Structure 1
Amino acid sequence: MENAGDGDFCLFIEPYGEDFYLRPGEVFTVAPEAEGIDVWFSTLVWEGGITVWPYEDGDPTKIVLEYTVTDANGTRLECGHQRPPKPAGSDAAELG
């Protein structure tokens, strides 16, 4: 996946709801951890991002639960990579 736009772009991966942010020009790869799996993706594009559901062998009931996200250098990325800070005055409350 490549961000060819002018602003940050969110890659949101289900079923865990993990988010990764691509800056303009960045490329990320989503791949299964297990070898030999034929991965397909169901996608939903929305303003500022894309949501993907990885699944096996064309069967959307076989969700791929173990996957990696890497950058163009092959560095494994963690959920929240480059996530922008919450805006000041945000109504989102932290539970503690």
Structure 2
Amino acid sequence: MPIENSGDSELCLFIEPYCEDYWMKPGEALTVRSEAEGVDVWFDTYISKGCVIVWLYEDGDPYKIVGDYVVVDASGTRLDSGHQRPRGQRWSAGGPIID
């Protein structure tokens, strides 16, 4: 699932239920994909101010969460959680606080 930040400020890609965050600068694109073989992955996507929240489910079943996934940049480089996280980023139980 490709995600592109076409806005003019940073955008957080937040993967649930693992609370992993990946930050995109304007114009950047990231891709979320499953690494599991033979699994039909469905993506549930929620949008809030400055944040795209993604859940990965096997066969669309919300009780079968896909845990074997990867986030890559436009060149295919695998990224770690916290990629480009803004210094001093604040958090709540629901994810990053975007002012």
TM-score (norm 2): 0.83
Question: Do residues 27 (structure 1) and 6 (structure 2) align?
Answer: no
* TM alignment of 1:1-96, pairs within 5 A: 1-86=3-88
Query: Which is greater in Rg?
Result: 1
Q: Give the drift of 1:35.
A: 2.3
What is the CA-CA distance between 1:4 and the residue it aligns to?
0.6
Runs of 4+ in 1 over 4 A off after TM superposition: none
Q: Which runs of 5+ in 1 are unaligned?
A: 91-96
Structure 2 SS opposite 1:81: coil
User: 1:59: Cα distance to partner?
Assistant: 1.1
User: How many residues are aligned here?
Assistant: 88
Matched position secondary structure for 2:21: strand
Q: Distance in 2 between matches of 1:50 and 1:66?
A: 19
Residue 58 of structure 1, CA deviation: 1.5
Coordinate RMSD, CA, aligned = 1.3
Q: In the TM superposition, what whole-angstrom CA distance separates every residue of 1:56-91 from its partner, at most 9, and x where no partner exists?
A: 11111110011100001000000000000006xx7x
Identical positions, percent = 59
Give the TM-score normalised by the residue count of structure 1: 0.86
Of Structure 1 and Structure 2, the greater strand share is in: 2
